[in-house]
Homo-oligomer: A and B are copies of this chain.
Amino acid sequence: MHFYMDSKELTEGVLSVIKALPVRTTMPILEGIYLEATKDGVKLKCSDLMLQKECLLPATIEEEGFAVVPGKLFSEIVRKLPESIAEVTLSGKSLDISCGRAKSSLQCVEATEEFPEMRFAGETFTVRMDHNDCRDMISQTVFATAQDDSKPILTGVLLELGEEITIVATDAYQFARRSMLLKETVPERNVVIPGKSMIEISRMMDETEEDIELVFTKTHVCVNLKHSRLVARLLDGDYIKYKQILPKDHTTRAMIDKCELMESIDRAQLMAREGNNNIVMKFHENKLTITANSFAGKISEEMDVQINGEDIDIAFNPRFCMNILKCIPDEKIYMDFTTSISPCVIRPVKTEGFYYLIVPVRIYSNF
């Protein structure tokens, strides 16, 4: 292998693929970046077996070939190269990089041919979206995925496809659902994509200004941009039947200014953190009072709201409230309640397609 390429383009490529480099792995080869010089250019690839990122960079190829180099060290060296043309040569087990005054040799990872290739094959179907919509819908849902593996399917997000795209995520304490009409209707189908892969898909949206295509097979999803490509495994198994747990009705609806509410929760959670990490929200006579208590003291916040229905006292983990409120674009939100131990629905007043649910915590007598 022997090629010349712009050091800045090499840096951008490395920074793009390295997102799929696993933090911890039992397969040492996955700690490497796969590098291949082909007649089309230089291909870089990282994989953690669930997610694979690749890019193809323009280069002057003197000799084709491939190698796997230690990912972290290679990326650090490449990032600090002077802006110039880098000459890259594989000689034996050593990858030599020469760029201006800087010369380095990296020991390649052995057994290069064992670097896993994610197969993306079989019948495909394609979902086309605006890149901004795609990024926004992901960030407005993915926070609600489970962070632990006790129910593996909940570490993913559900995509319900058809006339609309609906993205659902829940960890059983918080629930997020975003829907949007698709530009082109696709056959009805549900898939579950790991949360981590969804975050990488949303990051890729910054690299383009055009509509993007999510291409699915039975087992994988693929996103192609001009110079880079992501392939991710879908999660096996069925997502939970969430529709049966969504509240059918409510007895109290409050209309609240979102920014006021966020500022108040932001302050109240300082005191909540010193105690049992709960804030109590009391909806009485068009006033909302938020309180947080701990051995260290008390915070209370009052604001005008519009209440339809019965007064209610309810308590929440403030972090879950903030996660949801951050996603809502409107100035005003609805909070819909039935009892102080049933889930509360949070929605923007005007914008369609947002539906959030949050499970309250029990209020103990000392409040």
Binding site for B on A (CB under 8 A): 70, 73, 76-77, 80-82, 94, 101-107, 260, 263-264, 266-267, 270-271, 274, 295-303
Q: Which residues of B are found within 8 Å of A260, using beta-carbon distances?
A: 101
Q: How many copies does the complex hold?
A: 2
Q: Which residues of B are found within 8 Å of A295, using beta-carbon distances?
A: 107
For the complex of A and B, list the 8 residue pairs with the smallest distance between their C-beta atoms, beginning with the closest: A106-B297, A104-B299, A105-B298, A105-B297, A103-B300, A80-B267, A76-B270, A107-B297
8 Å CB contact of A298 from B80, B104, B267, B303: B104
Q: Which residues of B are found within 8 Å of A267, using beta-carbon distances?
A: 77, 80-81, 102, 104
Q: A82-B263, A101-B301 are in contact. Are A77 and B296 (CB under 8 A)?
A: no
Q: Which residues of B are found within 8 Å of A77, using beta-carbon distances?
A: 267, 270-271, 299
The CA-CA distance from A356 to B301 in the complex, in Å, is 57
Whether B296 contacts A107 by the Cβ 8 Å rule is yes
The CA-CA distance from A337 to B337 in the complex, in Å, is 78
The CA-CA distance from A302 to B99 in the complex, in Å, is 12
Whether B271 contacts A104 by the Cβ 8 Å rule is yes
The CA-CA distance from A146 to B302 in the complex, in Å, is 52
Q: Which residues of B are found within 8 Å of A73, using beta-carbon distances?
A: 270-271, 274, 296-297
From A76, which residue of chain B is reached at the shortest CB distance?
Answer: B270
Q: Which residues of B are found within 8 Å of A102, using beta-carbon distances?
A: 264, 267, 299, 301
Whether B264 contacts A94 by the Cβ 8 Å rule is no
Distance from A185 Cβ to chain B, minimum over Cβ atoms (Å)? 47
Residue in A101, A260, A295, A301 with the greatest tally of chain B CB atoms within 10 Å: A101
Known interface pairs A102-B267, A102-B299, A106-B297; 6 further A-B residue pairs with C-beta atoms within 8 A, sorted by A's residue number? A73-B270, A101-B260, A101-B302, A103-B299, A103-B302, A104-B300
The CA-CA distance from A267 to B99 in the complex, in Å, is 12
The CA-CA distance from A106 to B302 in the complex, in Å, is 18
Distance from A105 Cβ to chain B, minimum over Cβ atoms (Å)? 5
Distance from A103 Cβ to chain B, minimum over Cβ atoms (Å)? 5
Q: Which residues of B are found within 8 Å of A103, using beta-carbon distances?
A: 299-302
The CA-CA distance from A363 to B325 in the complex, in Å, is 60
Whether B101 contacts A266 by the Cβ 8 Å rule is no
Could you show 7 A-B contacts with beta carbons less than 8 Å apart? A73-B271, A103-B299, A103-B302, A104-B297, A104-B300, A105-B299, A106-B296
Q: Which residues of B are found within 8 Å of A101, using beta-carbon distances?
A: 260, 264, 301-303
Q: Which residues of B are found within 8 Å of A274, using beta-carbon distances?
A: 73
The CA-CA distance from A263 to B94 in the complex, in Å, is 23
Q: Which residues of B are found within 8 Å of A80, using beta-carbon distances?
A: 263, 266-267, 270
From A295, which residue of chain B is reached at the shortest CB distance?
Answer: B107
The CA-CA distance from A298 to B106 in the complex, in Å, is 7
Q: Which residues of B are found within 8 Å of A303, using beta-carbon distances?
A: 101
The CA-CA distance from A103 to B301 in the complex, in Å, is 6
Distance from A264 Cβ to chain B, minimum over Cβ atoms (Å)? 7
The CA-CA distance from A102 to B77 in the complex, in Å, is 50
The CA-CA distance from A102 to B298 in the complex, in Å, is 11
Q: Which residues of B are found within 8 Å of A302, using beta-carbon distances?
A: 101, 103
From A302, which residue of chain B is reached at the shortest CB distance?
Answer: B101
The CA-CA distance from A77 to B80 in the complex, in Å, is 42
Q: Which residues of B are found within 8 Å of A296, using beta-carbon distances?
A: 70, 73, 106-107
Q: A101-B260, A104-B271, A271-B104 are in contact. Are A94 and B266 (CB under 8 A)?
A: no
